[in-house]
Amino acid sequence: MGLSKKTNVIGIDIGSHSIKVVQLIKKRKNYELANVASIHLPENTFEEGMTENPNLVTDAIKHLITIEKIKTKYAITSLSGESVVIKKITVPQMSEEALSESIMIEAAQYIPFDINDVNVDFTILGPVEKDPDEDEFESEEEIGDQIEVLLVAAKKDIIDQRKSILTNAGLVPVVFDLDVFAIENSFSLNYEIEKDKVIGIINVGASVTNINIMEGGNTGFTRDILVGGNQYTETIGNRLKMDFNNAEKVKLGANVKEEQKDEIIPVIMDVVDSLASEIQKSIEFYSTAANRNIDSIYLSGGTSKISGINHLLNKKLGIDVVTLDPLKKISVNKKRFDPEYIASISPTIAVATGLAFRRFDDID
């Protein structure tokens, strides 16, 4: 296709609630925002990663490309949820070429789908390190004969449908990434990586919450929780007897009258408490398995816009929580982009920004 590291790409986050598009332009060592836009999708457009109306999604992407006057046709998108499996496995020491030939056999042991129904990829993380507290676990020779591998599998039918949606929108899909890794890219683009720190990056999407725990800049643990902002909006709607759109506005602090606050605040507190409980389960699982604590959490996604959510999560989890800014180190031309619009959309574009950060020099 004649691709190179100078080829412009767009990151497209196809979520269950909306589609976000981001394009970055590299200028010397820095990045500048070239395009950013979002469009809402009707409720229940996607169920378990698939849609019964792919033409609607294609048309939405076409609309974004048109209004943003995007010229490049190369697109990078991502997946998450039940259709994706991410797992660290241990295999005998071998070359990457040899592992490529045997990975399907290895993967079949860990993937809860028919191996013929998934695409499989992997990254070699390195040799297994001996735990200093486990004196008699295995000999040094045995440890040295094993390597850790990050195994990734995604259902072919979902990949094929997303590919068709993008192709019909006039785009060329060149990479299918995962939401958790896109968010990791977004973080690494904008924040300093401290080698001795463990960072939790949590993206609360409409139907899926992506959790990525990074150990000194490396992926230590990932999990997709099938709970997201839509469930919390529905809770508010049911409790306060209002439709989805109004409940969404209330969740984010809009359209709230003074006399309603006493009724709304306890509901929002319950919503945040429920989110914190789901996050806490994953954190405790990681901390027990890795014998490490998380130093801080970066929160993104539409639900991160709930007023006071960082403080409430900090109180519940006992961990410092801050909002991830995916444009923190990206140059944004204030003459082209309304600062208020950028501030409102930033919490929702961590995935799309991380995808746009991918360059063709790191695409195989």
Identify the weakest region by mean pLDDT among 127-131, 246-250, 345-349: 127-131
pLDDT at 115 exceeding the cut of 60 = yes
Contact between 189 and 258 (Cβ < 8 Å): no
- The token duo for 145 is 């004969």
Residues 157-177: tens digit of each pLDDT? 999 999 999 999 999 999 999
pLDDT at res. 141: 47
Residue 195 has pLDDT above 80, yes or no: yes
* Mean pLDDT for the stretch of residues 59-65: 95
Residue 258 has pLDDT above 80, yes or no: no
pLDDT at 359: 66
Q: Which domains does the chain have, with CATH numbers?
A: 84-153 (3.30.1490.300), 193-324 (3.30.420.40)
| Nearest of 158, 92, 146, 84 to residue 121 by alpha carbon | 84
Residue of 307 and 100 predicted with greater confidence: 100
Rounded to whole angstroms, the Cα distance separating 169 from 130 reads: 50
Pick from 88-97, 138-147, 259-268, 348-357: least confident: 138-147
pTM for this one? 0.86
Tell how far CA 67 is from the center of its chain: 25
Average pLDDT of the chain is 86
Query: 3-class DSSP state for residue 148?
Result: strand
Residue 4: pLDDT band with limits 50, 70, 90: low
What are the CB-based long-range contacts (under 8 Å, 24+) for 18-21? 18/206, 18/348, 19/57, 19/60, 19/61, 19/64, 20/345, 20/348, 20/349, 20/351, 20/352, 21/61, 21/64, 21/65, 21/68, 21/70, 21/352
